[in-house]
Amino acid sequence: MSIITDSNNTAANTNTVLKNDLLLRALRGDTLSRPPVWMMRQAGRYLPEYMVLRRKYDFFTRCQTPELVCEITIQPVDIVGVDAAILFSDILVVPQAMGLEVLMEEGKGPSLPMPIKSIEDFSRITVPDVSDKLHYVMDAIKLTKQTLNGRVPLIGFAGAPFTLLCYMVQGKGSKTFDEAKSFCFTQPEAAHQLMQMITDTTIQYLIAQAKAGADVVQLFDSWSGLLSPADFEIFAMPYIKQIVEAVKPHCPVIVFAKGSWYALEDMAATGAGIGVDWCIKPALARKLVGANTTLQGNFDPAKLMLSPAEIKKEVNKMIDDFGIDKYIVNLGHGITPLIPVDNAKAFVDAVKEYGAKN
């Protein structure tokens, strides 16, 4: 292929040269004219084009049909102009591949009718061969990479073991995941055995994503912030570390453990890029992760209800605070359904204009 490129960098595991490789360069720590920008849940309900497909196909049809995944994944690149695509999928495809039934009723959140309650339930789960059970994800990655044709990098992802345990034990979403946490505290051996199975599956899964063409992968520990610092060290950190170490030789990894500001230093020591939410000041996040780690975040999604002009002002301030290098502009959590598309565009445009300004 012969494409005019911004740099000589090529995406991992693909022959297509990336035209926009800002995300990879930010993760490497290169000096940039502006940071890259993408948004968690950017392929989601705030986009009318996504809503058309959501009304037409149920959740797992959308996840398991490579053509639909490809279309949904690329929508925000076309419409909002983000610097990276993130695969449309769900963290619960892993528990599903491990053998648990996962139901996804629109507007109700996920449910697992037969959750794990003790070690006896482990007879119902396995560490699957992901190339078999999750082949549809790799097929979707290949098709999406081909269709993107190097426009922007593609991000793959998985849920971190503690967060997946939360759903596999609690059986549904929760504000506190009390039952899942009590499972960890009262049956720690079972919890560790379960998280090791999830870890083994996730390592296979993320390496397979990288081999299929994912340029970067993100590990989401969405519920680790419900753990105390001491319990995070016991129940979250060891598995995050194993996964980052195993996957990093295959592609860059970003870890986003929402709410776990107290573990930023330990997480940064894995060599991953580190996502942060808006409940920490940029200067403190930088101090905790050190000078060599790329940070990602941390715009409060509720601020996307401001006017486009005000959003741009806030984004400028955020980039001023984080600095341009070793920084990826993102939200501190997923974009919510009520955000106007023009506001999401203003968020992205502000980052691009910041670059033009400098």
Q: Provide the annotated active-site residues.
A: 41, 45, 54, 90, 167
- The SS3 of residue 162 is helix
Question: Looking at beta carbons only, is 70 or 169 nearer to its own copies?
Answer: 169
Question: Looking at beta carbons only, is 25 or 333 nearer to its own copies?
Answer: 333
What type of residue is 340? Answer: P
Question: Looking at beta carbons only, is 186 or 193 nearer to its own copies?
Answer: 186
Of positions 113, 229, 290, 340, contacts its own copies by CB under 8 A? 229
Strands 109-111 and 103-105: antiparallel
Question: Is 213 a binder of its own copies (CB under 8 A)?
Answer: no
**Interacting span for its own copies (CB under 8 A) from 15-23, 127-135, 171-179, 240-248:** 171-179
Quick note: the x/- pattern for its own copies over 291-320, rule CB under 8 A, is: ---------xxxx-xxx-------------
Of positions 262, 269, 316, 345, contacts its own copies by CB under 8 A? 262
Q: For the CA atoms of the chain, what is the radius of gyration? A: 19
Tokens of 124: 């119902």
Of positions 25, 181, 241, 312, contacts its own copies by CB under 8 A? 181
**Please, how many CA atoms are within 13 Å of residue 323, restricted to the half-sphere of its CB?**
16
Question: Looking at beta carbons only, is 299 or 354 nearer to its own copies?
Answer: 299
Of positions 338, 340, 342, 358, contacts its own copies by CB under 8 A? 338
Q: Indicate left, alpha or beta for 327 from its phi (over 0: left) and psi (-120 to 50: alpha).
A: beta
Which DSSP category does 166 fall into? H
Question: Looking at beta carbons only, is 91 or 253 nearer to its own copies?
Answer: 91
Tokens of 134: 């999750």
Question: Is 258 a binder of its own copies (CB under 8 A)?
Answer: no
CA distance 338 to 319: 25
Beta bridge pairs of residue 155: 86, 216
Question: Is 336 a binder of its own copies (CB under 8 A)?
Answer: yes
Dihedral sign computed on CA atoms, order 99, 236, 247, 93? positive
Tokens of 70: 């490809």
**Interacting span for its own copies (CB under 8 A) from 158-166, 177-185, 208-216, 240-248:** 177-185
Q: How near is the Cβ of 303 to its own copies at its closest, in Å?
A: 6
Q: Write the DSSP string, 30-82.
A: ---SS--B--TT-SSTT-HHHHHHHHHS-HHHHHH-HHHHHHHHHHHHHHT--
Of positions 1, 8, 132, 175, contacts its own copies by CB under 8 A? 175
Which stretches of the chain bind its own copies, using CB under 8 A? 175-176, 178, 181-182, 185-186, 225, 227-231, 259, 261-262, 278-281, 284, 300-303, 305-307, 333, 336, 338
